Amino acid sequence: MDFSYSMKVKKAVESHLLEGADDPRFPMLPQRLVADVRKVMPANGIIALDNGVYKIWFARNYTAYEPNTVLLDNALATMGAGLPSAMGAHMVYPERKVMAICGDGGFMMNAQELETAVRLKMNLICLILRDDSYGMIRWKQANMGFEDFGLEFKNPDFVKFAECHGAMGYRVEKTDDFVPLIKKCNNTPGVHLIELPVDYSENDRILNHEIKDRSQKI
């Protein structure tokens, strides 16, 4: 059986996935933040994804090296699942590094669980990707030709929010600070909340157009 075409497709996909992995812009692009998380998390480390457009980027760009290390609820896609899923993973595998990855909208739907994680003396990171909107629905609404309406909101100060619950809070202010911060949190016991501003402006170009165009040229 000739696998030459399959290998050609595989090579093209892998090349495309690397694009943007070292992009220095801030707020961070999804391609860069996914690459940075993969760089820092150990092979058996567990990421628990909430539901938002970042889930598409992680599902596409994040390589899983071991089974059950990428948790996502892709059936009902219920918002608010990220932090509780990470807490459950920590309870089953307390010796592993665990990270919840949430949008700001999804996190705020179950933000009270931060108190539970602190009270139970868990060791985990909760990464909040902040774009001050329901990004996935906003993107879909735009693609369907509807007016941009009703999907932006204000967020609390996430650092203070973490601290008032007894967790450690951090705000990333430049791209190069992200990896060292994750390393610090992974090596420090306790509950860590990281606020990371994210730029989704390339979603439509890459996910809706570029992938289709490049696929047709292979």
Domain extent for 212: 33-217
pLDDT digits 0-9 by tens, 145-172: 898 888 899 999 999 999 999 999 999 9
For residue 27, is it within any domain? no
- Percent of the chain topping pLDDT 70: 100
Check if the beta carbon of residue 21 is closer than 8 Å to that of residue 77.
no
Within a domain: residue 8? Answer: no
The whole-number pLDDT of residue 32 equals 98
pTM over 0.85: yes
Would residue 21 count as lying in a domain?
no
d(CA 37, CA 142): 29
- Residue 16 falls inside a structural domain: no
Q: Judge whether 2 lies within some domain.
A: no
CA dist., res. 23 & res. 46, Å (int): 25
**What is the CATH number for 195?**
3.40.50.970
Dihedral sign, CA of 194, 195, 196, 200?
A: positive
Q: pLDDT at position 163, please?
A: 98
- Of residues 172, 151, 56, the one with CA closest to residue 105: 151
Q: Does residue 23 lie in a domain region?
A: no
Asked if residue 146 belongs to a domain, the reply is: yes
Q: For residues 44 and 67, is the Cβ–Cβ distance under 8 A?
A: no
User: Count of domains in the chain?
Assistant: 1
Cα–Cα distance for residue pair 67/1, rounded to 1 Å = 29
The pLDDT of residue 35:
98
Can you give the pLDDT at residue 74?
Answer: 80
Q: 82: which residues sit within 8 A by CB, 6+ positions away?
A: 48, 49, 50, 51, 100, 101, 102, 106, 107, 110, 126
